């Protein structure tokens, strides 16, 4: 047994570190060892339970209800809103697209209208569900969706558009799209509007302003395995009311086995990530998340200031949340820079140039990174010089 774990340790040794705050993408570290331990314990306790049938495992249905009840007021959801726990942001988005498509069976060639900065998960949904993707360029300066352009695209695809999406914030640039005017335009045209709050949904509500659910927003996704700092495998998908969610359910009785009734894409699914999220969210609590969000936000602003002052670097946009996108001048290349940072023990994620938007370095700031911000800036200076 010790040999097995030695082997696992050896395999892990080549991975990026998940803790310590020096990996600025993929992982989220609260810097709270007790929260991590609680998550791991709950994950193990429920690892073998099966969300296939919540009547057989009522604990899972209860924990799902509890998490949705915590999330609703945070994202400003109306009281009649309903929610589902999914395996991640991609599954939440896939289901939002599938549900929008299947609510409009009369539309034979459905499309979704999306700002070019939406997450790749929307492209995956387009691919899986044959919903055409209509990309709309964002403002080249603010990197935010342009409501007039989105509305024009909706009108150009009148009768076929089943969904419009916005990000709060976008992964690539960390800016919040103007939700209210886009949701209003969608509602006027009878089109659903999904808010992708996968990465900001557990941060923005804990900063100063209360988060609103503008009229016209029909669904919203928020990942707990990001800024709720829970083990991987948990996101929430909220619908404004039960009728909007209905097409999400899948039932199959036309076979000799058990009647399948699934609310998500998975059938058999571990209750571990759900239980872990339930425990970590309870343990950290609203006040704890407020502190973690403030810490990550302070670190983001300090890094933003350091980067903006650098002669060879600039921000793609001022950060609305806890993500930064860094552009370089002509003498620097983001891929080389990211290699030089990795050589100094920091992982930053290069992002490709796309439709007139320059290549950038992506930084996701977690609470645990805050203590290392000055070290990061020093390493960045060295990496640029190299
Ligand atoms: C992370 C993310 C997703 C996808 O989530 P996964 O959990 O990686 O599947 C979608 N949208 C945004 C804005 C994200 O940051």
Tokens of 359: 């290549």
Q: Which of 124, 198, 201 has the most ligand 1 atoms within 8 A of CB, as the residue to mutate?
A: 198
Tally Cβ neighbours within 10 Å of residue 13: 8
Question: What pLDDT shows up at residue 1?
Answer: 66
Rounded to two decimals, what is the model's pTM? 0.97
Query: Which residues 6+ apart lie within 8 Å of 368 measured at CB?
Result: 19, 20, 21, 29, 30, 31
Helices (H), the chain: 2-12, 33-45, 58-74, 89-102, 120-129, 147-156, 179-188, 242-245, 272-308, 334-343, 373-385
Contact between 324 and 318 (Cβ < 8 Å): no
Rounded to whole angstroms, how far apart are CA atoms 26 and 38?
21
Q: To the nearest 5 percent, what fractions of the chain are helix, strand and coil? A: 40, 15, 40
Tokens of 125: 């949904």
CA–centroid distance, 66 to ligand 1, in Å, is 22
Q: Which CATH class is domain 2-32+285-385?
A: alpha beta
Rounded to whole angstroms, how far apart are CA atoms 108 and 104?
9
Rounded to whole angstroms, how far apart are CA atoms 101 and 97?
6
Question: What pLDDT shows up at residue 209?
Answer: 76
CA–centroid distance, 309 to ligand 1, in Å, is 30
Q: Give me the residue label for tokens 């990309």.
A: 135
- Strands 161-167, 111-115: parallel, antiparallel or unpaired by DSSP? parallel
Rounded to whole angstroms, how far apart are CA atoms 40 and 246?
33
Q: Which atom of ligand 1 is nearest to the CA of 88?
A: 7
* Residue 16 CB-density burial (10 A; 0-12 exposed, 13-18 middle, 19+ buried): exposed
Question: What pLDDT shows up at residue 208?
Answer: 79
CB of residue 199 inside a 6 A radius of ligand 1:
yes
DSSP string computed for 100-115:
HHHT-TT-SS-EEEEE
Q: Which atom of ligand 1 is nearest to the CA of 89?
A: 5
Tokens of 210: 């209360």
Nearest CA to ligand 1 atom 13: 171
CB of residue 196 inside a 6 A radius of ligand 1:
yes
Rounded to whole angstroms, how far apart are CA atoms 170 and 103?
26
Q: So where are the chain's domains?
A: 2-32+285-385, 35-280
Options 3.40.630.30, 1.10.1060.10, 3.40.50.970, 3.40.640.10; CATH of 35-280 = 3.40.640.10
Tokens of 341: 């940072």
Q: Which of 171, 226, 273, 364 has the most ligand 1 atoms within 8 A of CB, as the residue to mutate?
A: 171
Which residues partner with 361 through β-bridges?
Answer: 326, 350
Q: Please give the average pLDDT of every successive group of 10 residues along the chain, which has 386 residues.
A: 90 95 96 98 98 96 98 97 98 98 98 98 98 98 98 98 98 98 98 98 91 96 98 98 98 96 97 98 98 98 97 97 96 95 97 95 97 97 96
DSSP three-state, residue 205:
helix
Rounded to whole angstroms, how far apart are CA atoms 89 and 94?
9
CB of residue 223 inside a 6 A radius of ligand 1:
yes
Rounded to whole angstroms, how far apart are CA atoms 74 and 205?
6
Rounded to whole angstroms, how far apart are CA atoms 59 and 85?
14
């Amino acid at each position: 047994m010790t040999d097995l774990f030695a082997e696992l340790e050896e395999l892990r040794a080549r991975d990026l570190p998940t803790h310590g705050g020096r990996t600025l993408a993929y992982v989220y570290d609260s810097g709270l060892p007790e929260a991590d331990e609680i998550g791991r314990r709950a994950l193990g306790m429920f690892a073998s339970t099966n969300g296939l049938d919540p009547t057989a495992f009522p604990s899972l249905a209860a924990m799902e209800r509890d998490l949705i009840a915590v999330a609703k007021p945070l994202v400003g959801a109306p009281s009649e809103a309903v929610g589902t726990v999914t395996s991640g942001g991609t599954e939440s988005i896939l289901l939002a697209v599938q549900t929008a498509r299947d609510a409009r069976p009369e539309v034979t060639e459905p499309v979704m209208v999306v700002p070019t900065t939406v997450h790749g998960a929307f492209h995956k949904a387009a691919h899986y569900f044959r919903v055409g993707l209509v990309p709309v360029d964002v403002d080249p300066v603010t990197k935010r969706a342009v409501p007039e352009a989105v509305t024009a695209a909706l009108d150009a695809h009148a009768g076929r558009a089943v969904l419009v999406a916005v990000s709060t914030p976008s992964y690539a640039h960390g800016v919040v799209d103007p939700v209210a005017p886009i949701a209003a335009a969608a509602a006027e045209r009878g089109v659903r509007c999904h808010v992708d709050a996968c990465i900001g949904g557990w941060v923005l509500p804990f900063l100063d302003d209360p988060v609103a659910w503008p009229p016209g927003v029909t669904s919203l996704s928020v990942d707990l395995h990001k800024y709720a700092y829970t083990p991987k495998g948990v996101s929430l998908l909220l619908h404004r009311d039960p009728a909007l969610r209905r097409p999400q359910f899948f039932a199959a009785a036309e076979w000799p086995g058990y009647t399948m009734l699934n609310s998500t894409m998975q059938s058999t699914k571990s209750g571990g990530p759900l239980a872990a999220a339930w425990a970590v969210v309870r343990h950290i609590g609203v006040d704890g998340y407020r502190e973690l969000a403030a810490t990550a936000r302070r670190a983001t602003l300090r890094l933003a200031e350091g980067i903006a002052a650098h002669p060879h670097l600039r921000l793609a946009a001022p950060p609305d949340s806890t993500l930064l996108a860094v552009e370089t001048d002509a003498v620097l290349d983001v891929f080389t820079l990211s290699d030089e940072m990795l050589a100094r023990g920091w992982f930053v994620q290069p992002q490709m140039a796309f439709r007139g938007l320059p290549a950038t370095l992506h930084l996701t700031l977690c609470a645990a990174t805050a203590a290392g911000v000055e070290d990061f800036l020093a390493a960045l200076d060295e990496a640029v010089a190299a």
